Structure 1
Amino acid sequence: MAHLASLYRGIVGIATLVVAGLLIAQVFFRYVLGSSLAWGEEVSTFLMIWAGLLGAATLAAQDRYIAFSAIKDSRRPWLRKASRTLASLAAIGFALLLVINGSRVSFLAEFSPRSSAAEIPLNWVYAVFPIAGLIVIGGALLRLLHIWRGRDE
């Protein structure tokens, strides 16, 4: 799992660097050359969506989501175990919605409009939802395994 987390972080890092490069290029083209990149802002927006969702999805295995720490880190082992189990199950439930609905608009869509400037099929952009959902499910299942084996601390 550590190798996959490194791969996801690498993808997120590269996407973020490309976004920064595109934004710098846009500023250069607009203010130095006097013409604008029509597709630059659109592509950078799509890459930020991918980077944000993939980055957030990798947090499931590490249990780094927003939580009530008074309950999640309770001194009572049964309460700690129950709250962490519930949080992982909630993450799985949400991720299933991402996978099902994201697949409908990306992989299973019969028709996909194209973005206005870059002409990118939008189902490629929407594909991040089921992919991120699957990553969350895998990470949350791994968390559940650690919780119930007592290796959660």
Structure 2
Amino acid sequence: MVHTLRKYVRITDYINKGVGWLLFAMLAVMSILIFWQVFARFVAGNSLAFSEEASRFLMIWLVLLGAAYSIKEGSLIAIDILQSKLKGNAQKTVKLIMSIIACVFYVILIINGFEIAQSVSFQTAPTTGLSMFWPMLALPVGGILMFVNTTAVLVEDFIGKGEQ
């Protein structure tokens, strides 16, 4: 059982490595698009039509994937005053309860995110012509990754980091 849980954590580490590189690439593309938009508007006097919309869609994906990535890295913002005041089993219990509540939210995000993505799939963005399904797909994908990473963090906390 412990071996299987450690394998799960290892798989999430590989997934997060890929997500980290994807975040890097998306941030680079978004930065280039925004820089070019500013340059084109103020220097050339004619801005690109698609860059603002594409940057907005990239930002949606960056926020949701970045939040999932941050959960595993332990760098997601949190109010942990109660957890930091407790020790031992009480601290683990509070962390477990908070993680369960978060996972319930992620399941709601996944279910409703898929429904939203499907309900707007017939709409297209005005300048890029992209189906609105793709930007909205960030909701369930981010929710899935958040759920996976939260459970991996819980596994690490309860069975120990150990040899991976």
Distance 2:79 2:88 in 1: 15
TM score, norm. by length of structure 2? 0.82
Q: Please, which runs of 5 or more residues in structure 1 have no aligned partner?
A: none
Distance 2:134 2:161 in 1: 38
What percent identity do the matched residue pairs reach? 26
Distance 2:79 2:40 in 1: 47
Q: Does 1:148 align with 2:158?
A: yes
- For residues 28-59 of structure 1, the C-alpha deviation after alignment (integer angstroms, 9 at most, x for no partner) is 22222221111110110110111111001122
Once the 2 structures are TM-superposed, how far is the Cα of residue 63 of structure 1 from its aligned partner? Answer: 4.0
Distance 1:27 1:149 in 2: 50
Amino acid across the alignment from 1:135: L
Contact 1:30 1:36 in 2 (8 A): yes
Distance 1:61 1:139 in 2: 5
Helix, strand or coil: the match of 1:121?
Answer: coil
Helix, strand or coil: the match of 1:73?
Answer: helix
- For residues 49-83 of structure 1, the C-alpha deviation after alignment (integer angstroms, 9 at most, x for no partner) is 11111001122234443333332223421221011
Q: Please, which runs of 5 or more residues in structure 2 have no aligned partner?
A: 1-11
Equivalent residue pairs, number: 151
Q: Which has the higher contact order (CA 8 A, sep 6+)?
A: 2
Higher helix share: 2
Sort the Cα spacing of 1:62 and 1:36 in 2 relative to 1 into closer, same or farther, 3 A.
closer
Q: Does 1:127 align with 2:142?
A: no
Amino acid across the alignment from 2:159: R
